[in-house]
Amino acid sequence: MAWLSVIEEEGLTYEERDIEYMPERVAARSIRMGFETEKREAYVSCMQPVRGGTTGEEVKREVVIPW
């Protein structure tokens, strides 16, 4: 969840940093998580609107988190 918060906050303006909700234009969607217990890794991915892109344009964001 911390990773998702960070990538959503990337799209906020300085003035928006104190709001209580994420605007739709920065919100992560289609969040998926998986685990590889033998490798001790978690996989998280989501789709996010492209900053300054056309309406409906999204980019896939992903991260591997070791534990």
Give the tens place of pLDDT for each residue, 9-64: 887 888 888 888 888 888 999 999 999 999 999 999 999 998 777 778 999 999 99
Distances (CA, A) of 9 to 13, 18, 40, 41: 8, 10, 27, 24
Q: What is the pLDDT of residue 25?
A: 86
Residue 52 structural domain: 2-66
Q: What is the pLDDT of residue 64?
A: 98
Q: pTM of the prediction?
A: 0.78
- What total number of domains does the chain contain? 1
Q: How far apart are CA 31 and CA 60, in angstroms?
A: 10
- Which residues lie below 8 Å from residue 1, measured CB to CB, with a gap of 6+? none
